[in-house]
Each structure stands twice: as C-alpha cells, then as structure tokens.
Structure 1
Amino acid sequence: MTDELKKIGTFEGRDVLEATLESETGVSIAVIGYGAVIRDWRVPVEGGMRSVLLGFDRFEDYPDHSPYFGAIAGRVANRIGGSCFTLNGKEYRLPANEGPNHLHGGPKGIGRQVWDMEPLGKEAVRLSLSSPDGQMGYPGTLDIAVTYRLSGNCLRVEFSAETDAPTPVNIVQHNYFNLMGEGNVGSHTLQAPASAYTVPGEGLIPTGEIRPVTGTHLDFRKPRRLSDEAGEPIAYDNNLVLDTGRDLSAPAAVATAPDGSLTLTLKTDQPGLQVYTGDKMNVAVPGLGGRRYPRFGGLCLEDQNFPDAINNPHFPSPVVTPERPYRHWCEIEIG
C-alpha cells in the first residue's frame, strides 16, 4: 500500500499522504489525506495539460491558507444557524466559526483532519475517518468513508457514514473549479435544473422560505453567465433546490469555459446545489504552479442537503441513525 502513496507533509503528528489517480484519457487527479482534499485535477487540452481546480503545491499551505480548497466538508457542511440544534429533545451546542454560526463542521471539521488512505489500483482511492462522539459538539461516533473513482474524464465520489446514535450529517465535496485554469470565473456559464432556491437571511442562514427562481439571477434553467451585464462577476453563495423527480442520470449542473474549451457536468443524488463564486477568497500565498488566485477565482458546485436543514423540519432531514446510514454519490466529468 505505502508503495503507491507519497508522503507530502505532517499534520498534528500524522503523516499526510498523497495518491495520484490516472485514467486512459490522460486525466490526472492528486488526492491527499488531509481533509480528503483533491489537491490538483489536470485534463488534457490542446497544447498540453490544464489544472482545472484551485489548490496548492505545498501541503503546508492548506492548514494555514485554504478556504476548503478541494476538501470534503462536514460532519455537516454549509451552515447551522446559531451553532445549535435540538435532536430528540436535547439541545446540542456547536463551536461557532463564522460569526454566530457553525460552518462546514466547525474549526476542526472533517475537512481539517488527516484521513486514512487505501489505494484501490491506479484509478481509485478510499479514504476513511472516525469522528468520535462529541467531536465539534455532535452526538454519536461517525465512521466516514469517501471513495474517489476515476474513469476516463469522469470522477465518481461515493460517500458513506455509519453512526451509533442519531446525528445530523451532510458530507460535501468543496472543489473550486476554474475551467480556464486562471483568472476569474465570471465569464463561465452555468446551467442547473433548479426551479427554486432557499431564501438566505442574515449570515446566509435560510429563512425557511423556498422561493421560485423565475425572474431572479438564480434562474439557471437555461445557461447563464456568472457575471452581470457589465461583465463583473456576481457574488453567488446560494443553495439551489434541484427539481424533484429529475432524472438522476442527467446533469444537476453544467458549467462551460468561456472559450468552450472545457465543459464540466455534475450528477448527484442530493436535493440541493450550493453555487459559490469565491467572492470571499483572499488567498495570501501562491497556488498551483505559482498562480495567484484572485477574488472570484473559483466556482464551487457543492451537491448537498439544504443549509441549516436540522433547524428546518420542512427541509429534507439530515438525520442519520444506526438503522439508516448516510449514503451520497456524485459524478463530475470535465472534458
């Protein structure tokens, strides 16, 4: 096993390992144990290879400077309002790490821990992590596994988690894509089969209202540029409600490079899609290949349950139990 993994650093006394997946079409994806991060994703284009997501060459830059680049976020990704919830009559308090709210599982969420790694041949790797009862305030021990499988230009991500007590779970890939490899993503186009969105309130915590996208800048049912009429990128950080009854074999999102050189399609079994264009990015160190990542430098398409679902009973339930474990898959194809 260790022959196929490369040590790239240490974190809190543990080795951080890296696996490189390679497919017959020439795609190369680097995965590291810290945060189950996809560190680099290269696809062949005319003239060579292109990195299509944001990351760092040095592991040491991840703990200090990464805004969840390529990470698996959780236990509960996105936001929990007021950093608390009630489950089976008991209130649970979580650490606040975005104003009064709890973001991406807290300051020591699963995206900021070292996972175990098991290579599954040249095109797949399995990562696992056990989150003990009480970690970041959550009830129950949660045993998590994420498997990355590369086939051609398509990466399938399979998530699973088993618990010994009822607990909320929303485990999400947090890749920042840029299909041009540099610059801002305002000139990318996006299409998604979502007729509604969850209305954000203060701190981007949902008010509980679900509203139609018709007539708003969140209507991506037809391809839409991620910029305004003046060409300035729009600060998206919104949860789209994917259409119920949709064909899961059809894309939940299609993003296209401005020159048409690359297209990203994402398929998922999840009910929501967080669209984030990186307006809060402020990366102080160079990224892959020495690039400087500007504000709006990456597009996140986070397939997920709705934000703050644990505090909104009419949202899809995020609660998993010993009898009802967590399962989630997505497929991302770039070519």
Structure 2
Amino acid sequence: MSIKVVRYQRENQHDYCEITMENNQGMQVKLLNYGATLEKILIPTAQGLENIIMSLDSPADYSKARNFLGGTVGRVVGRIRHGQWQYGNHIVQLPLNDGQNHIHGGTGTDTQVFDFSTHFDTHQSTVAFILFDADGNNGYPGNMKLQVSYTLDNDNQLTYRIKAVSDKLTIFNPTNHVYFRLNGSESDVLGLNLQLNSDVYLPLDADSLPYQGRKSVEGTVFDFRNAKPVGTVINSHDPEIDAEHGLNHPFLLRGDDPAAILSSPDKKRRVVMTTKSPSIVVYTANHFDHTGIAKHIGQYDGITLEAQVPPAEGSDLTAITLFPGEQFNTWTKWQFEY
C-alpha cells in the first residue's frame, strides 16, 4: 500500500491537495481535499491504468464550477421542498437555489476545503478528512464537525464513511456523488447492467420531489430486482423517465446485501455496493451537455448510486433530524471486480 500527496494550488490560506492511494493490485484511488472528493478510480488494464468514474480534466477544475463529481454533498443532498424544515411550531428557512426549492446544501460541503490526515499499513490505506461547518452556514443550525474517510484495501474494496456531530438540533443527510462509467471515457452507461435490492421506489413530481408515497416496482420500468441494461429504462418512453430525461429516482432498499450491483455489458467489470443507508437515488447524468468546465461529459456518460435517506414530500424532515450531541455515522462500500 502507498499514499502520495501533491499540492496543486493554494487559495485563501488553504492548500488544495490531490491524494493518491494505491494497493498491491495496482488499483489507484485519487482524492481531493476540496469537497472530500473522489476524483478518480483507476484500474490496471493491458493498456495501462483506466479511470472508471466521471472526472474533470484536472484537480484545479473542481473549484472552478460546481458539478458534484465525486463530491461529499451536504449538509443535505437532494431537494427540500420550499427550502423549509418544520419541527413543532418552528420553521427553518433554507436558501432557495433550485427554483422554489433548496438543493444539495446550498453552497454545500462539496465546495469547502477539508483538512486531512493519512494512514496506511500492509493491508489498507486511509485518508481522513475533517471539516468544521459553522452554525448558520447555508441556513443550517448548529456548529457541525464533519469527518469523511476513504479506505482502500488489497481486495479492491473502497470504504466511504461519514461521521458528524452538531451542537444544535439540525438536519443532515449527506452522500458521495460519484458517477460510475466502468468502460472508460469512450462509451455511455446505457449498456451497463444494474441490479437493485429494492421492491419500492418513489415517483417524482415536476419539481423532482416525491409526492405520492411509495410505489411497488412490480410491473414498472423501475424493477431492477433482476439485472437489466440501464438503456432499456432510459429508452422506455415511460412518462416518469421522459419527465426527468432519465433516472433520478429514490429506491428504498430491502436491507439485504448487496444493495446494488453495476456491471459492464460483458460482465467482466463490476461494482458491488453495500451501504448502511436506507435508500439509493439513481441518477443517470441527465443534465450534462458538453458545456462549461465539464465540456467532455455528456448526457448518460455516468450513473450515480447515491446512498442516503430518501427525500421527503414536505417539510417534516424527522428522518434526517440530528439532535445536539448525537453521533451521525453511515458508510458505503464499493467492491471492484475486473
């Protein structure tokens, strides 16, 4: 195992660093302390190392425009209707940055520079990121200490952990926003096979928020209980898929492992995902259009499997409420086979 740290820029008294972990199989994971970001996952091939996630051209590009690629998105990922959290007679108003809704924590944790430390031994290597997010930042109550870690072992498993504690009642529902592609940069994800251990999904309204509770996947295009190509769903002309221009839907997990399996068309590459989180939001990079800092990325060039508590229909956010001093702790593991 090895870890290498390279500083690529300095701004506002912060060092921006790229950290590379490499295991004994030759697999590499590149991280950025900007946003506690998973920048690249590189697997060895006969032609050299190949990146199997969506990435920008250089580490410095990540702070130029917000694209969520591999970032630790919080405090709350996804949308909050009207930006409102109500508890008792109290209403907390968050900034509206997605029409009449709040999304991805405002200027969220994926846009902040984390401190970090590294550790490795003969079996695994870990990078631990730490961020202090002040009371009132982006409208969220509570001074919060956030810890994010990535651990790579010699069995090609990458473990992602999030821990946090706040000194005030607050809401918290972060995730990693990595987009997998598996087959390098020359193909989209429509041919990838996806399996989800989920019997239930949440239909979305015009604001891309749940509005009619749970719905069985039985008899719908959202039935991924048996693996099938992502493209069969994207091209199904199902009204819900057409409205979102692809998948953007929460799937409630049954709780048995694995939560999800993503595999290449030839089955030679797989990501097997397990998580403590109760749901996965599947998003197929619907909005990318080869413009801006991500000009080399287009629609359906990647797919996210965002482990999180599913978004709520209204302002009752009990499921993601964190009490003062309460320890938040979640994890996701990705096992890579190639």
Output the TM-score relative to the length of structure 1: 0.90
Partner of 1:161: 164
Q: Report the equivalent of 2:150.
A: 148
Distance apart, 1:102 and its partner CA:
1.1
Give the aligned partner of residue 188 of structure 2. 184
1:168–1:310 Cα contact (<8 Å) kept:
no
Q: Does 2:225 align with 1:221?
A: yes
Query: Amino acid of the residue matched to residue 149 of structure 1?
Result: T
Deviations 1:10-30 (A, max 9, x none): 344422112111111111011
Judge which range, 296-305 or 56-65, deviates more: 56-65
Within-5 A mapping of 1:305-320:
305-308=309-312, 311-312=315-316, 317-320=319-322
1:332 maps to amino acid: W
> Match of 1:327?
329
Q: What is the SS of the residue equivalent to 1:228?
A: helix
Matched, 1:68 2:79: no
Contact 2:164–2:329 at 8 Å: present in 1 too? yes
Distance 1:130 1:194 in 2: 35
1:48-93 deviation per Cα after TM superposition (whole angstroms, max 9, x unaligned)? 3210111123233213344200100000111111111113432111
SS in 2 for 1:120: strand
Looking at structure 1, the residues matched to 296 and 116 of structure 2 have their Cα atoms a distance apart, in angstroms, of 30
Contact 2:61/2:293, CA 8 A, preserved across alignment:
no
CA distance in 2, matches of 1:62, 1:301: 20
Greater shift, 27-36 or 84-93, is seen at: 84-93
**Contact (CA 8 Å) 2:63, 2:111: kept in 1 or not?**
yes
Which residue is 1:38 aligned to?
38
Deviating more after overlay: 179-188 vs 11-20:
11-20
Question: What residue is the counterpart of 2:28 in the other structure?
Answer: 28
Aligned length: 323
Contact 2:258-2:274 within 8 A present in 1 as well: yes
Aligned to 1:199: 203
Letter in structure 2 aligned against 1:327: N
Secondary structure of the structure 2 residue equivalent to 1:179: coil
Alignment of 1:253-332 (within 5 A): 253-284=260-291, 292-308=296-312, 311-312=315-316, 317-332=319-334
The residue that corresponds to 1:119 in the other structure is 118
Query: Is the contact between residue 190 and residue 230 of structure 2 (CA under 8 Å) also seen in structure 1?
Result: yes
- State the percentage of identical aligned residues: 26
How far 1:231 moved relative to its partner? 6.2
Q: Deviations over 1:218-260 (max 9, x none)?
A: 11100011113896896100000111xx33xx21000011222
Deviation, 1:46, is 4.0
Could you tell me the TM-score, scaled by structure 2's length?
0.89
Taking only aligned residues, the RMSD between alpha carbons, in angstroms, comes to: 2.2
State the alpha-carbon separation in 2 of the partners of residues 92 and 286 from structure 1.
Answer: 34
Q: Secondary structure at the match of 1:220?
A: coil
Is the contact made by 1:81 and 1:100 (CA closer than 8 Å) also made in structure 2? yes
Shift of 1:94: 1.0
Q: Distance in 1 between matches of 2:116 and 2:165?
A: 18
Unpaired runs of 5+ residues, structure 1, are none
Q: Which residue is equivalent to 2:98? A: 98
| Segment drifting more, 302-311 vs 268-277 | 302-311
Displacement of 1:199 in angstroms is 2.0
Q: CA deviation at 1:208?
A: 4.8
8 Å contact from structure 2 (residues 161, 331) kept in 1: yes
Structure 1 residues 205 and 34, CA gap change in structure 2 (3 angstroms): same
Distance 2:210 2:222 in 1: 15
Query: 1:177-212: CA deviations, max 9, x gaps?
Result: 100012211110100110001221121111151111
Correspondence for 2:52:
52
Decide whether aligned partners of structure 1 residues 321 and 169 sit closer, same or farther in structure 2, where only a CA change above 3 A counts: same
Q: How many angstroms apart in 1 are the aligned matches of 2:249 and 2:269?
A: 24
Rounded Cα–Cα distance in structure 2 between residues aligned with 1:270 and 1:309: 19
Structure 1 stretches of at least 4 aligned residues deviating more than 3 Å after TM superposition: 10-13, 229-234
1: CA distance, partners of 2:328 / 2:233:
42
In structure 2, how many angstroms separate the alpha carbons of the residues matched to 1:216 and 1:87?
35
Contact 2:66–2:111 under 8 Å retained in 1: no
Structure 2: runs of 5+ lacking an equivalent: none
Distance in structure 2 (CA, Å) of the matches to 1:295 and 1:144? 32
| Partner of residue 242 from structure 1, selected from 253, 258, 262 | 253
